[in-house]
Chain A
Amino acid sequence: MTRPRTLYEKIWDAHVVEQRPDGTCLIFIDRHLVHEVTSPQAFAGLRASGRTVRRPDLTLAVPDHNVPTTARLDAAGNRLPIADRESAAQLAALEKNAPEYGIRYIDAVAPEQGIVHVVGPEQGFSLPGTTIVCGDSHTACHGGIGALAFGIGTSEVEHVLATQTLLLQPSKTMEVRVEGQVGPGVSAKDIILHITGTIGAAGGTGHVIEYTGSAIRALSIEGRLTVSNMAIEGGARAGLIAPDEVTFAYLKGRPYAPKGADWDDAVAYWKTLASDPAATYDKVVVIDAADIAPSVTWGTSPEDVVPITGVVPDPAAFADPSKQVAAAKSLAYMGLEPGTRMQDVPIENIFIGSCTNSRIEDLRAAAAVIKGRKKAANVRWAIVVPGSGLVKAQAEAEGLDRIFIDAGIEWREPGCSACLAMNPDKVPAGERCASTSNRNFVGRQGPGSRTHLVSPAMAAAAAVTGKLTDVRELMA
């Protein structure tokens, strides 16, 4: 009998092309997602060395990071110019490179355009048991459907384009098991914020995290993508959730997913991927779902998480002296005093979007809170940025756009937007943003911006009250 293996080990083993004496493996890459920011230099490298793309059929390019989220076409259907010269040059480079190398390209004005990590699963391009890479650290997202997915640098993008492989060291395995049922108002985002707060921003370093347990199994694919998305914020290279009937139902019929008899073969294979019952992990963390409240970050590391009912911590209360220093610095940057109730923190900006929380379920959750309410007067800027054109169309068919617009919240075109503020969507210096994105780093949403990471429902609650708010109070 073969040794019991985890989901990670099964996927890894199925992708080893060659093993080097030091344990490094040449790993085959099944899917490569390409966007405009980390690819131009990789294509330039290919060109300079006279190489080609080995498997254009396994590569999908879509612009997302710095496309504007304002209208892209004028009334006559002509493309509107992009104000930022450098963004325009990156977008033009991708538009030229993709067809030149025979790569599928989703244009900025195509209905399927969106954030790479939303588009991949939505198109059925990302599949369980595959290896997926992209020049963006939140590639871990695709682990939500059971793919081994991770972010890579530009040299690695070039390496994958040229060889369809990567040289990798195997990771250690870590299980994060969330058992039980979450309370009302607690979403997948609260689960992953709570996990990140529990294990710490370096808790998963050197590991691939598999999320297991009844609370994870109960999540929709949208929710699982949200959880796996932020594996990297816990220091892990990738996140994984075993594919099951929920996964198969989500993928069936999607454009790039297998069809007919192929579909049956694929499902039969995917069913073999779950971790064997006797398999062991290098590290295990168990979390009781009942302990998870709607959560919010107070600092500048994604591990700086408290329940919304909590207060800003006192840096002196941390055991680790380096964390004391970091926390004090964070609070100075965030303009917060220890002991302040999180619910008393005023909010001037709201961002609902990013590959973490811009899928239909996220927009529904936000709209449910907003419905019949208005944006608070002190909220200066509030935008909803759907993850893809298809999500946008679906939301519009359900009338969600009207709910946001009627409340005074802007309804935008798909893209990364204020997640990393590479396009014009930025939070001004010194102002706060309740954001559904994944990083609250210094300056992430614009120089001097102050980010509080929250779920879509919590961002919606902050939008209508003008301060961080326990969404459960608005749900009665």
Chain B
Amino acid sequence: MTPIEKVEGRAIPFGLKNVDTDVIIPAHWLKTTTREGMGRGAFESLRADPDNLFDSPVFKGAPILIAGDNFGCGSSREHAAWALGDLGIRVVIAPSYSDIFSGNAVKNGILPVVLPQPAIDRLMEVAQTDPVHVDLDTQTVTTPFQDRFTFEIDPFRKMCLLEGLDEISLTEKSDAAIGAYEAQLDADRPWMRPAIA
């Protein structure tokens, strides 16, 4: 996973509330076998409009997305995070997220920043004309106009994102403990192994 520390660039002033994962990536994209290329399906229904934000010359490929309350609600599909990542988004800024979505985002190297609505409103304004700067290390979002908003993030998630650590790499550090558990299980309850090989 690519580590995140500082992300600077244009922020898509999207701002919609209750955007569910069906809007982020429609169900028919679930029939894929790779994580890549899913950006093409991201926000498909909205992008049917030729004047949509995502494909505008200014915001195409922007690394930051500004959204409204309860972003990523609905189905638990991880494809939503893959689609955003494939679209080039590294940071989402919103007042709140569905739990499952924010977990999936972090697992896929996307930083979900939580800021109160007034901060979102101000960033939406700035984003029209100027870039936004997100610094995970100092937990701040800043603009060229001296706006400075600080955000909270779970320390474990922060470490994973800063170091680009995926959960598997972390768990692999517990390899010896897992091996010991397996050996003990084989000794205590050998019948737990499926009976036919």
Cβ–Cβ contact A256 & B33, under 8 A = no
| Chain A residues whose CB sits within 8 angstroms of the CB of B178 once the complex forms | 17, 26, 28, 54, 163-165
Are A266's CB and B191's CB within 8 A?
A: yes
Instruction: Tell me if A381 counts as interface (CB < 8 A to partner B).
Output: no
Complex Cα spacing A348 to B24, Å: 33
* Stretch among B56-64, B86-94, B168-176 lining the A interface: B168-176
Q: CB-CB < 8 A to A443: which residues of B? A: 27
For residue A399, CB closer than 8 A to chain B, the reply is no
Count how many chain A residues have C-beta atoms less than 8 Å from C-beta atoms of the other chain: 53
> How many Å from the CB of A123 to the closest CB on chain B?
9
Distance, CA A84 to CA B32, complexed state (A): 12
A58 at the interface (CB under 8 A from B): yes
- Does A255 sit at the interface, judged by CB under 8 A? yes
Contact for B76 among A41, A90, A137, CB less than 8 A: A137
A26 CA / B100 CA spacing, docked (Å): 19
The CB with the most chain A CB atoms within 10 A, among B168, B172, B182, is that of B168
Q: Say whether A41 contacts B174, CB under 8 Å.
A: no
User: CA A266 – CA B190 in complex, angstroms?
Assistant: 9
- Encoded as 1 (CB less than 8 Å from any A CB) or 0, chain B from 145 to 186 comes to 000000000001000000000111001101001100110010
Tell me how many residues of B have a C-beta within 8 Å of chain A.
36
* B173 CB, min distance to chain A CBs, angstroms: 10
* B29 to chain A: closest residue by CB: A86
CB of A58 within 8 A of CB of B194, answer yes
Which residues of B have CB within 8 Å of A275? none
Residue of B nearest to A84 (CB): B31
**Complex Cα distance A98/B31, Å?**
18
Residues of B close to A18: CB separation below 8 A? 174, 177
Q: Is the CB of A257 within 8 A of B31?
A: no
Q: With A and B bound together, what is the CA distance between A262 and B76 in angstroms?
A: 39
Determine whether the beta carbon of B31 is less than 8 Å from that of A86. yes
Contact partners of A162 in chain B: CB under 8 A: 168, 171-172
B187: A residues at CB distance < 8 A: none
How near does chain B come to A391, taking the closest CB pair, in angstroms? 20
Question: Is the beta-carbon distance between B167 and A262 smaller than 8 angstroms?
Answer: no
Residue of A54, A158, A259 touching B195 (CB-CB under 8 A): A259
Q: Quick check: A57 and B104 within 8 Å, CB to CB?
A: no
State whether the Cβ of A470 lies closer than 8 Å to any Cβ in chain B: no
Cβ-based interface call for B34 (8 A): yes
How distant is the Cα of A165 from the Cα of B168 in the complex, in angstroms? 10
Is B135 engaged at the interface, CB distance under 8 Å to the other chain?
no
Q: Are B156 and A163 in contact (CB under 8 A)?
A: no
B192 located at the interface, meaning its Cβ lies under 8 Å from any Cβ of chain A in the complex: yes
B191 close to A265 (CB less than 8 A)? yes
B107 proximal to A (CB < 8 A): yes
A159 touches B196 (CB 8 A): no
Closest to A154 in B: B78
Nearest chain A residue, comparing its CB with the CB of B169: A49
Q: How far is the CB of B30 from chain A (nearest CB, A)?
A: 7
Decide if A258 touches B34 in the complex (CB within 8 Å).
no
Question: Do B185 and A153 have beta carbons less than 8 Å apart?
Answer: no
Task: Check A153 against B104 for contact (C-beta < 8 Å).
Answer: yes
B-side contacts of A405, CB under 8 Å? none
Would A26 and B190 be within 8 Å (CB), given that A37-B30, A44-B35, A258-B195 are in contact? no
Task: List which A23-73 residues lie within 8 A (CB) of chain B.
Answer: 26, 28, 30-31, 37, 40-41, 44-45, 49, 51, 54-55, 57-58, 60, 66
B197 within 8 A of A: yes
| Given contact pairs A26-B177, A37-B30, A155 touches B197 in the complex (Cβ within 8 A) | no
Q: How far is the CA of A167 from the CA of B157 in the complex (A)?
A: 13
Is A93 an interface position by the 8 A CB rule?
A: yes
Task: Decide: A155 and B104 in contact? CB cutoff 8 A.
Answer: yes
Which of A124-132, A240-248, A315-323 lies on the face that meets chain B?
Answer: A124-132
A124-B189 Cα distance, complex, nearest whole Å: 16
> Is A167 in contact with B171, judged by CB distance below 8 angstroms?
yes
CA distance A346 to B74 in the complex (A): 30
Question: Which A residues are in CB contact (< 8 Å) with B30?
Answer: 37, 422
Alpha-carbon distance A176/B168, docked complex (angstroms)? 36
Residues of A within 8 A of B194 (CB): 31, 57-58, 60, 125, 256
State which residues 128-158 of B face A: CB under 8 Å: 156
On chain A, the residues within 8 Å of B104 by CB distance are 153, 155
Output the nearest chain A residue to B106 by Cβ-Cβ distance: A155
A167 to B169, CA, bound (A): 12
The reply to whether the CB of A269 lies closer than 8 angstroms to some CB of chain B is: yes
Q: Do the beta carbons of A17 and B108 come within 8 Å of each other?
A: no
B168 touches A41 (CB 8 A): no
Q: Are A262 and B196 closer than 8 Å at their CB atoms?
A: no
**Given contacts A167-B167, A258-B191, are A422 and B31 in contact (CB under 8 A)?**
yes
The answer to whether B192 touches A26, judged by C-beta atoms less than 8 angstroms apart, is no
B177 touches which of A17, A87, A258 (Cβ 8 Å): A17
Complex A-B: 24 CB contacts under 8 Å:
A17-B181, A18-B174, A22-B156, A26-B174, A28-B185, A37-B31, A41-B78, A41-B82, A51-B168, A54-B178, A60-B194, A127-B192, A153-B78, A158-B168, A159-B167, A164-B182, A167-B167, A255-B195, A256-B194, A258-B191, A262-B195, A266-B189, A422-B30, A443-B27
Closest 7 CB pairs of A and B: A262-B191, A40-B33, A86-B31, A258-B191, A256-B194, A155-B107, A17-B181
15 new A-B contacts at CB < 8 Å, known A155-B108, A159-B171, A163-B178: A17-B174, A37-B30, A41-B33, A89-B33, A153-B104, A155-B107, A155-B166, A155-B167, A159-B168, A164-B178, A167-B167, A256-B194, A262-B190, A266-B191, A443-B27
